[in-house]
Amino acid sequence: MKSKLAHIFSWLFLPLLMPFYGLYLTLYIPSKGVSLSSLNMYQLPEELKGQLLTIFFLFSALAPGISFYLLHKRKIISTIDIEDSKERNFPLLIMFAYCMVLFSLFIFKAPNNILPKYFYSLPLSGAIVTVVFMLINRWIKISLHAGGAGILVGYLSIFMFETIGFPIFFFIIAIIASGLTLSARLFLQRHTPLEVYSGWSLALIITFICCSSYPII
């Protein structure tokens, strides 16, 4: 039973889905910017929200997921969740490419920061996290699941810091989801504690800094 739950949590909180979860929460849960001049996520037109979420999902989750499936079918990777550290460089490069495509799409289709900055900084955070993980993967098999959870918590942390009224309840839920994800990876013996905790911490810090500093960086 515990093993089944661990697998469920691993699939429910896939690293490709975690940024999408965060973006969805901040778009549809009421909040307002600390500054009156800042663009408000919640008050964006409903049609625009749907379009932006669709674009984000396509490039951050669906397209990479299909790519990983095709890599698995062609036996370039042995498992969908890329358990073998030696097989990770190409999938991580694909993740980086999709993050940069998404970032570039928002930059060129919505220039001059006409959208809330998180639409630009979140995919950029994903790209930076991916590059850092590619480098670290030479020494340890850092957890991608933990990285996705760290991105979610890092994003919601800076969002709560820069807005008013976002319920802390949902931030607590994100923390719990992170804990379940990390526990599942440890229970399934996919990673060591170092690989899990370092992945979560690095992704959280990178995302927080990137989202708080953008567009300065």
Q: Which residues of 60-90 are buried (b: 16+ CB within 10 A; e: fewer)?
A: bbebbeebbeebbeeeebeeebbeeeebbee
Give the mean model confidence (pLDDT) for residues 3-25.
90
C-alpha 156: how far from its chain's center?
Answer: 11
What pLDDT is attached to residue 167? 92
What pLDDT is attached to residue 216? 58
Please indicate, yes or no, if residue 194 is contained in any of the structural domains.
yes
What pLDDT is attached to residue 1? 67
* 153 pLDDT higher than 80: yes
Q: pLDDT tens for residues 72-84?
A: 888 888 777 777 7
Please indicate, yes or no, if residue 11 is contained in any of the structural domains.
no
Please indicate, yes or no, if residue 39 is contained in any of the structural domains.
no
Please indicate, yes or no, if residue 10 is contained in any of the structural domains.
no
Percentage helix, strand, coil for the chain under 3-state DSSP, each rounded to 5 = 70, 0, 30
Please indicate, yes or no, if residue 4 is contained in any of the structural domains.
no
Please indicate, yes or no, if residue 60 is contained in any of the structural domains.
yes
The answer, yes or no, to whether the previous bond of 215 is cis (omega within 30 of 0) is yes
Please indicate, yes or no, if residue 38 is contained in any of the structural domains.
no
Q: pLDDT tens for residues 167-209?
A: 999 999 999 999 999 999 999 888 899 999 999 999 999 999 9
Domain span at residue 64 reads: 17-26+45-213
Give the mean model confidence (pLDDT) for residues 145-171.
94
Please indicate, yes or no, if residue 201 is contained in any of the structural domains.
yes
Give the mean model confidence (pLDDT) for residues 140-167.
94
* 6 pLDDT higher than 90: no
Quote the number of domains for the chain: 1
